[in-house]
C-alpha cells in the first residue's frame, strides 16, 4: 500500500487552506445608512488612499469599498432625481434657490 498522498488529497488540502485564508477576513458592510454617511466615508477613503501610506492589499480593499460607496451614492442621487421628476409633473426643471 502506498503511503504517499494522492494528488486529489493534495488539491483538497490546498483548497481547504485557501478557504480558511479567505474566510477569516470579514467583508466590509455593503451599504451605508445614508447618502451623507456614504459620501463621508468615501471622502475619508480617498484622502487615505491619496496619502500613499496604505499597503497594497489595503489599497485594493479601499478601492473596492470606494467603488461600492460611489455606486450607492449614484443610485441614491438617481432615485432622488426620479422623485423630483414626479413632483415636477414629469419634467426636470432647474432648481433655483429662493
| Domains located in the chain, CATH noted | 27-87 (1.10.287.1040)
Query: Has residue 19 got a pLDDT over 50?
Result: no
8 A C-beta contact, residue 50 and residue 63 = no
Alpha-carbon distance of 41 to 31, in angstroms, equals: 11
Residue from 65, 75, 63, 66 nearest 34 by CA: 75
8 A C-beta contact, residue 55 and residue 92 = no
Model confidence over 27-51: pLDDT tens digits? 555 678 899 999 999 999 999 999 9
Model confidence over 44-98: pLDDT tens digits? 999 999 999 999 999 999 999 999 999 999 999 998 888 887 777 766 666 665 5
Amino acid at each position: 500500500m502506498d503511503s504517499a498522498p494522492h494528488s486529489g488529497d493534495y488539491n483538497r488540502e490546498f483548497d481547504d487552506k485557501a478557504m480558511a485564508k479567505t474566510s477569516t477576513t470579514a467583508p466590509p458592510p455593503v451599504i451605508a445608512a445614508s447618502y451623507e454617511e456614504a459620501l463621508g466615508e468615501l471622502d475619508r477613503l480617498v484622502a487615505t488612499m491619496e496619502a500613499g501610506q496604505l499597503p497594497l492589499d489595503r489599497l485594493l480593499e479601499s478601492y473596492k469599498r470606494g467603488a461600492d460607496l460611489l455606486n450607492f451614492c449614484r443610485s441614491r442621487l438617481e432615485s432622488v432625481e426620479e422623485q423630483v421628476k414626479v413632483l415636477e409633473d414629469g419634467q426636470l426643471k432647474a432648481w433655483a434657490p429662493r
